[in-house]
Structure 1
């Protein structure tokens, strides 16, 4: 009886309960089982080669996505591995479909663990099959050189003179029917692979006068159409003088042996493609099998180690046992699974997981051992990295300044870091397993439970700090305090785990209260300053306007009105900035209509203003608007002072447009226009000089355009 334990099996089953049942049975049977729900996950595991599997148990129906047969096809395209299909179907067409993919087995679900275990073990009995094949091959060679089962005798012309009962059965011809016929009429043979006719051995013997045997893969086709894989030999029948008088043809049915041989060849090929080293020895631990993986892992070629003692080739040091203890365990229990360090051919060492199995013959007597070795060096490195990562994560959590608390689905605490200990006044060991309610004031508990339940239902993975609204905590001394919290959730084995990060905001709330008070005081001070500045500027404007009205000298009056206009532009801008929602900018659609109206209203002369301002809202900062306000004051003042002396209905037109990043201001009036001799480079007055300087300051361009109406065009980059 062959004992197999520790083999790695990938179970592909979409029914969770059934998969759990099958996994438990297999693990109780000594197998290592990995379970996935979908064909896509199975393909990913196998192709990534992160975990080598010895066999796959494949459910045919896998729900959505790939079914079992499609998954098996893709896996076998990547890697040769035994696949046993599991299904509740027994329809012939389904079974036939799986056989076209792989023929390692088809097990009907609920057939029992005995059937399943037997099907699995068929894939792992290569060594016993090899031993059986050797024995049968020796017997077959003896039979091939003896009379055998079927005998047909011919004369020297190749005509049949005798057929024995076994030959009658295999050829379908009776002795009476075949007597006198040519051998080719009764003994019809072809090549099993090419299906081409094979030269009859009787004819060869008659030509060569020597004993001949059939080539491999020869098939005998009987009279009724049945086919037999045969082995035969032809020998000349000689008289006393040594002359050939005929031929005796001896053959036997080796169909069963041929099938076994084919199966063994497939299994040998399978073991040569597995990732685990498979080593076979006799009972004295002399190596008689060494697969490709063993060559790759231990660097010894099979031809170098066959016939040597395994202890001489692989120096082993087991983790917790001596070599003698391992052998004694195998003899007592039938197998041993453990870890060892083995030395390879180049002197380097491999960390190996070993499964050592005792092989018995049909009479239960031990005949040898099978060593299955898996290189776990990379796995041990990965395990070390995981432990180091866990240690770093623990240090990070413990060094965090915020309290970190994790709870399970029943709201029991499973993590309580050092900051949480300081915040709440409890030791971590005292809080593990306790309800989270002990850290929450009673008035908040019901609300908090509802929030956790709702958060779990939403499926959202995390909520940011402060998104939970007002939260309060309860210290060990009974004192309540305000908390800012964030929450996240993950699912582990189907259970939701929640982690909250808490920050004590007691000090911050006090500071914020003080800040709000200071801001309120600052706002009151600013309002008072604004009120005083506005009053002072308004007083200056009023004084200048009154002074202008009291002057009889027209030039002096105009100068005072100009000064009043400049102050008025500042007053309007200041007022707009004060009521603006932004820090230091005002909409041009809000500023220009107001400033035009206010400046015109200063002068006694009534002037009509037409505004054409684009609808797209544009904000400019106070510095630019202040310069534009002064420029507009100079233009309006200049028009009233010089352009309208003989105009009964004076009119000013202001057009503001935009082309990408350029803002254009086009100013004109229906007055007498600006003389050709006057420009921004050559002007006797202060107004145009001021406009030119302010434009340069804004890095803009200004020009005078003399068409039907004189226009001042100002362009700025915004």
Structure 2
């Protein structure tokens, strides 16, 4: 493939001779084409020059080779593409710079054209003399003479470097789009408005069970469930914004899948399409359904726990009604079992339907009549059947009326104490139904047992309260007997001092008796209102000593509940201090404008504060230290871990403080 070498003086003549020979050959071919023996050479050369100028001005490279692959013509654009000129253009050098694979492909292509006559394309990369790489596309068009003899090839050369980069970028973009499209975790559909699918990703195909080709032949309406509008019909609004809704898809196998869809308008290649993203929310819907059932069950248990009724039948009626609602069963019954083995009998038989009406279901007389649901009693485990045979005995239900059933035993300490049977749930019974209803019935029985236990405790407590009140009443009566005996004894005592001692003893016994009297009259058998006790005790003492007309008894008392272990000693202390004030604070022969004895009682910071005061003569004339009254008060103060302070200023004042237990 020797082309235009560099010219020197010796080769110029040869090239001219070669050119003349080529011109003569072309003239001969033109004469054969025109059918004449002569040719207007000047006109032909004018047309050839015009053709060359046209070809030189086009934006593609043009190269014409003869049958020996010698260069016949090359235009300016081709020379610019190869960074060459007409004098230095060397086709063989350019061909040699190609890879061996490209060289062989071009040779095979050109050779095959001589037989086929087809136009062929070939693309390759070429490194130019400047070091820049270009991507070229060659279009080979074979040339044939009038006699169909092969006469060479015309090569149209196009620089596709920029086009190839754009195409590669587009391919990368398409691959990325396809990777994102198929790699998404949600099903994605592209479809016409009301027409067939244009595209669907891998998740959509796998979820629905169709191949991509099958989906592309379907319309959105082919996926709807029972004529319900599905996501494909959830059209966007006029602005193109997504319309979100939750619906149901139907797979190829008929399985129903809950999905949340978002549809919006998109433009692909200038055409308006609808893009729909469908997210599988079956697990969320199932979780919501379970949460609703759990809330209904907990609500039922809460209502049962706050029912004032305590009879098992009332709870059974409430439980079977809620069981039907939770399981969406048509009807059912619940019954309590008594006895053991063959001697088991029924109590509190309750049957109803989903709509609340009582079903006329007869109560079996024994377990042998119970049919197949007797298995749950024998096995002590739930028994479920969603395909009841025509010969299965489900007494007391009539034959053929039951399509599915669930029998649930209620256990207490491993023994079946009740059984509930539900029938005819649409779609059959599932594990969730068993779990929810079992928890409901077990909770119901726990509430029944708790109510029964609480009733027994209340009954026992009432009995103990009655007994304790009787004990306090008897203690009070016995102390009254002691006081009566001491009163009788005073009739035989002539010594005034002895008589005073006996009367003080009577007052002490009465103060203790009054504590027991208040306890059996009170609703609280462990504590008494000590403020009320002081008020009543003071009035009784003033009345007992006959000084109510000249000594005023004043109080300022808070309501403080004292336990009996503190009330008894405090009562004796108050009795001693009041008795001492009444008998010694106001001796005869002295005058006072007002004779007053006062008691104050308060509570602060866990401590009880009590004071007994008078406006009498003070300590003078009181019981001497070491007397029984002083010894008794000191002993009782120590018993309650208290602190007693006293002072004599304008009368006597005793202040007692102790911690409330």
Name the TM-score, length of structure 2 as normaliser. 0.39
Larger Cα-atom Rg: 2
